[in-house]
């Protein structure tokens, strides 16, 4: 089935499409302290909650949100008109990795919260984002990390390699390779994870009950139920998630 339809179904109850609480998202927005006229880029913006909340807080900013999902962007545009219709925000439906700004080093904040795979991984994401950010800017990335060594069966079940993710420490220090200094991390709690995963189970089951004739019902339920078992059996103790907040130095690597 269409993967973007699948994500739309499983995330229909989510406000933000990652395992982070709204309280921690608000904490992040407060810490970023954008100056009037700041330019913001949010790659893989999802439902746009981060960018729209930034616009609610920092009224004089301009922002670009990029996402490939037509379902999520439909939600974003509705939310935008309801909450910040006068904000200078622009949303693009495209693969975030293919987005190229008019000029490099042109954004005061560049974010990618939970979609580093589009740049080939975490380090590829840090490298791509820092090239689009001005010196002394913010780079914000959401990324999984290993809380403990993953079991082979878990890796096979979720089709991930051990090398796909680092530890929390490795994620923090990786920024130094690209002239970035980690200044803060917001780490998901087990409750944050449980809510994120559990809402997917709930959304899939309620959607299936309401759409019994949809040809994708069996596929959705099978995939979600398999993911549920993998999370409860291994993932809950093994995989963490955090938002890493970096400052780009004046002498960042090119």
Q: What is the CATH number of the domain that holds 58?
A: 3.40.50.150
Q: Closest Cα partner for 175 from 76, 242, 104?
A: 242
Q: What is the DSSP string of 169-194?
A: HHHHHGGGGGTEEEEEEEEPPHHHHH
Q: Answer whether 121's CB lies under 8 Å from 148's CB.
A: no
**pLDDT at residue 249, rounded to an integer:** 84
> Is 202 a member of any domain?
no
Tell me the residue range of the domain where 139 lies: 14-151+158-189+239-248
> Is 199 a member of any domain?
no
β-strand pairing of 180-187 with 239-248: antiparallel
The domain total for the chain is 1
> Is 205 a member of any domain?
no
**Beta-carbon count within 10 A of 12 CB:** 16
Q: Answer whether 112's CB lies under 8 Å from 218's CB.
A: no
Q: Closest Cα partner for 64 from 35, 33, 87, 41?
A: 41
> Is 213 a member of any domain?
no
pTM of the model: 0.95
> Is 36 a member of any domain?
yes
Stretches in the chain below the pLDDT threshold 50: 252-254
> Is 9 a member of any domain?
no
> Is 221 a member of any domain?
no
Q: Answer whether 160's CB lies under 8 Å from 235's CB.
A: no
**pLDDT at residue 251, rounded to an integer:** 55
> Is 194 a member of any domain?
no
Residue 72 tokens read as 């999520």
**Beta-carbon count within 10 A of 185 CB:** 13
């Amino acid at each position: 089935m269409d993967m973007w339809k699948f994500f739309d179904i499983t995330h229909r109850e989510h406000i933000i499409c990652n395992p982070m609480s709204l309280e921690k998202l608000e904490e992040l927005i407060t810490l970023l302290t954008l100056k009037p006229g700041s330019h913001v880029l949010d790659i893989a913006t999802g439902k746009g909650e981060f960018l729209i909340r930034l616009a609610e807080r920092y009224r004089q900013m301009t922002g670009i949100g990029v996402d490939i999902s037509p379902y999520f962007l439909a939600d974003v545009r509705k939310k935008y008109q309801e909450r910040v219709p006068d904000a200078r925000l622009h949303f693009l439906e495209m693969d975030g990795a293919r987005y190229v700004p008019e000029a490099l080093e042109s954004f005061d904040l560049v974010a990618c919260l939970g979609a580093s795979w589009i740049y080939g991984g975490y380090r590829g994401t840090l490298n791509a984002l820092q090239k689009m950010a001005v010196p002394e800017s913010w780079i914000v990335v959401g990324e999984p990390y290993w809380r403990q060594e993953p079991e082979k069966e878990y890796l096979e079940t979720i089709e991930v390699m051990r090398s796909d993710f680092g530890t929390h420490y490795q994620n923090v220090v990786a920024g130094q390779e690209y002239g970035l200094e980690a200044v803060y991390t917001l780490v998901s709690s087990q409750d944050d994870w449980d809510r994120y995963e559990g809402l997917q189970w709930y959304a899939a089951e309620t959607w299936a009950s309401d759409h019994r004739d949809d040809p994708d019902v069996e596929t959705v339920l099978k995939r979600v139920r398999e993911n549920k078992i993998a999370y409860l059996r291994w993932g809950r103790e093994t995989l963490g998630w955090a938002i890493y907040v970096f400052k780009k130095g004046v002498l960042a690597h090119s």
